[in-house]
Amino acid sequence: YINSSLDYKLKGYIGDKPDSINLTLYSDADFAGCIETAKSTSGVFIALTGPNTFFPLNAISKKQSCVSHSTPEAEIVAADLAIRTEGLPALQLWDMVFERSVKLKFQEDNQATIQILKTSKNPALRHLSRTHRVNISWLCEVFKDLKEVELVYCKSDEQAADILTKAFTNPIKWQAALDLIGIKNVPH
């Protein structure tokens, strides 16, 4: 793999003043993607963004701890991972670096998941705290109470975390997924 991908480089750029730069956090999950276990995979991608800024900071691809029963369940588990391990810690760091309150745009491509995160109402998911150790109430409070965190719908073809959750067989979609996370084909 390394020998066949030497021309691929991770590229970031910063073309804005610090007061125009914020954080964008992408979270995605496949549903029952593992052929052997039927477990889902969480994908997380975070970058500094602005009108002329895109600087990747981190990415996570992690198999979920148990089987999810629906796409929204898998997406909420991924959202919890994203907010807890990347989003909130990054807010704290970049608030100090920029000496101001930084905004975090949380990008989600599943409408049902967004509705659950806005209302915290879905009795079919009440088992999440026991099975996945995810507290939906806490997650909903983050989006409701923290004015720095904004829950945003993004189209699936703009979901940067998608590349971290599944295999691609279509070369055009693969290249589009690489572009979303800042990986460019730059010949020597």
* Amino acid letter for position 93: L
**Among all chains, which residue has been given the structure tokens 């992690």?**
62
Strand locations in 104-147 (E): 104-108
pLDDT score for 173? 94
Q: Are 159 and 181 in contact (CB under 8 A)?
A: no
Q: Is the pLDDT of residue 106 over 90?
A: yes
Looking at residues 12-36, what average pLDDT do you find?
A: 94
pLDDT tens string 124-157: 676 666 666 677 788 989 999 999 999 999 999 9
Alpha-carbon distance of 31 to 49, in angstroms, equals: 29
- The arrangement of strands across the sheet holding 53-63 comes to 13-14, 53-63, 41-50, 22-29, 104-108, 149-153
Coil, helix or strand at residue 57: strand
Q: Which of 28-32, 45-49, 51-55 has the lowest mean pLDDT?
A: 28-32
Rounded to 5°, the CA angle 39-126-73 comes to: 35
pLDDT confidence of 59, banded at 50, 70, 90?
very high
pLDDT tens string 112-124: 999 989 987 766 6
